[in-house]
Chains A and B, each alone.
Chain A
């Protein structure tokens, strides 16, 4: 049973446009969510996080939105740049030390 789902395995966006990556979860106990970015042959690196007490968190070009009633979060990248091309993972935690990761979305930003 996949508790964290990223239903789009890949996404292509033109440089300068907005990239929207989506993540759905099933466990209503999740209270902390993160997005990681991963380049080939490297480990994931932290991008942005959000606590369940918020519905939005912004950091530069990256904004994460959380809709608790829909059990949905999204990552917006504006404007998208070719260097943003990577695999993006969302992850969730339910008051524990453990995170459940989604399967990832491969973003390709076209120059």
Chain B
């Protein structure tokens, strides 16, 4: 049981290049999330998914796209990287709370992060 894994761990891009970050989870979680962490900013939600084939925007979605073609995978794409996208990216997954009913979710399990530098 690997939990949540992220590929790659590090990447350096030039401005305008594209790339895809892969997140995989083996816990059969319904919900998956992409966050970015910047100094003094905490974790900010980029996009999330509440199930296979669904995606939704978070707090800071501009410049990113996502896809959830399989339940276990959540991809984050940068079509044209910018220096402002230099950050550490974390993927997370979670179950809903049993009997939650109104959208509260269980704890999120995070991957180890991807450190992206855009020059």
Query: Which residues does A use to contact B, with CB under 8 Å?
Result: 4, 6, 9, 31-32, 34, 36, 41-46, 49, 51, 89, 91, 93, 95-104
A sample of 9 more A-B contacts (CB under 8 A), given A93-B105, A97-B48, is A34-B108, A42-B113, A43-B113, A46-B107, A91-B43, A95-B102, A99-B105, A103-B42, A104-B42
A102 touches B104 (CB 8 A): no
Report which of A31, A41, A45, A101 forms a contact with B104, defined as CB distance below 8 A.
A31
Name, among A4, A43, A96, the residue most crowded by chain B CB atoms within 10 Å (CB to CB).
Answer: A43
A-B contact count (CB 8 A): 63
B105 touches A49 (CB 8 A): no
B104 touches A95 (CB 8 A): yes
Report which of B90, B103, B113 forms a contact with A96, defined as CB distance below 8 A.
B103
A41 touches B110 (CB 8 A): no
B48 touches A98 (CB 8 A): yes
Q: How large is the interface on B (under 10, 10 to 19, 20 to 34, 35 or more residues)?
A: 20 to 34
Which residues of B13-50 have CB atoms within 8 Å of chain A's CB atoms? 31, 33, 35, 40-45, 48, 50
CB distance from B59 to the nearest CB of A (A): 8
CB distance from B99 to the nearest CB of A (A): 12
> In the complex, which residue of chain A has the Cβ closest to the Cβ of B112?
A43
Given A43-B90, A43-B113, A46-B109, verify A95-B42 contact (CB < 8 Å). no
Chain A residues with CB under 8 Å of B110's CB are: 36, 43-45
B31 touches A44 (CB 8 A): no
B48 touches A44 (CB 8 A): no
A99 touches B108 (CB 8 A): yes
Given A102-B42, A104-B42, verify A95-B103 contact (CB < 8 Å). yes
B77 contacts the other chain (CB 8 A): no
CB distance from B109 to the nearest CB of A (A): 7
Given A43-B111, A45-B110, verify A93-B43 contact (CB < 8 Å). no
A97 touches B31 (CB 8 A): yes
Which residues of B91-115 have CB atoms within 8 Å of chain A's CB atoms? 92, 96, 102-105, 107-113
Report which of B4, B35, B90, B104 forms a contact with A93, defined as CB distance below 8 A.
B104
